[in-house]
Amino acid sequence: DTAVSQTPKYLVTQMGNDKSIKCEQNLGHDTMYWYKQDSKKFLKIMFSYNNKELIINETVPNRFSPKSPDKAHLNLHINSLELGDSAVYFCASSQEAGLLTGELFFGEGSRLTVL
Amino acid sequence: AQSVTQPDIHITVSEGASLELRCNYSYGATPYLFWYVQSPGQGLQLLLKYFSGDTLVQGIKGFEAEFKRSQSSFNLRKPSVHWSDAAEYFCAVGARAAGNKLTFGGGTRVLVKP
């Protein structure tokens, strides 16, 4: 069983479109995250949810809207896609919002290409 | 604000040789430090972590790292590299005071020569 699963794995779309990426974890973790990895492999946190509540919201355009229907799911919706949104988006989860366990479990990533 | 620097963008080593990846961090207090590995097309996997105590920490796959407060460093080492160690390696720093966020370095790509 995959611990953190994301869909779709690949997404190619036109500028201006709206798209969603879904994430599910079956680890029973309380906290989930979205990270963006750009073409230079630089990883940056976008959002974090703890038990469906938003706890980290970095400086991300409001075209990006996360949604957590329950603590096992964290989806990312992107409106009006731009070329600069092309990246690999990683979902991750951890046992608690704190860092005592220190371990994030990552999904395999969703590669978004905006044409 | 916390930050992480990995000075080496890529490193090439021969199989069986030793490997050391550098990581320098910036943070006012004692940070939580991590090393993750990313194999091609995969997500990141935790290799090891340091919170406190013994400054030499052991991780999975034969890796170890040493925390040196005086140098603000947390370098990753492996005595003998295997071809399967070819991957991207990320150092990360976290701190409760920083909102429990993990900040990643830019990564070091490791290539292994036969």
DSSP for B12-36, please give it: EEETTS-EEE--EEE-SSPPEEEEE
Q: Which residues does chain B have within 8 Å of residue A4's beta carbon, measured at their own beta carbons?
A: 43
Alpha carbon of residue A27 to chain centroid: 16
Q: How far does chain B reach from its first CA to its final CA, in angstroms? A: 41
Q: Which amino acid makes up residue A58?
A: E
pLDDT tens, residue by residue, B30-50 = 788 999 999 988 889 999 999
Give how far B30 is from chain A: nearest CA, Å: 13
pLDDT tens, residue by residue, A7-31 = 999 999 999 999 999 999 999 998 8
Buried b (16+ CB within 10 A) or exposed e, A75-96: bbebeebeeebbbbbbbbbbbe
Helix (H, G, I), strand (E, B) or coil at A4: strand
More confident residue, B64 or A44: B64
Q: Which residues does chain B have within 8 Å of residue A104's beta carbon, measured at their own beta carbons?
A: 36, 44, 46, 102
The angle subtended at Cα B11 by Cα B60 and Cα A43, nearest 5°, is 65
User: How many Cα atoms occupy the beta-carbon half-sphere of A109 within 13 Å?
Assistant: 21
For chain B positions 38-77, those within 8 Å of chain A (CB to CB) are: 41-46, 49, 51
Q: Which 8-state DSSP code applies to residue B107?
A: -
Assign B95 a pLDDT band (cuts: 50, 70, 90). confident
Cβ of B104 within 8 Å of Cβ of A42? The answer is yes
Share of chain A above pLDDT 70, in %: 93
Helix (H, G, I), strand (E, B) or coil at A113: strand
Residue of A27, A33, A38, A99 to mutate for B, most B C-beta atoms under 10 A: A99
For the ranges A29-43, A47-61, B75-89, which has the lowest average pLDDT? A47-61
Q: Which of B66, B106, B74 is nearest to B90 (CA)?
A: B106
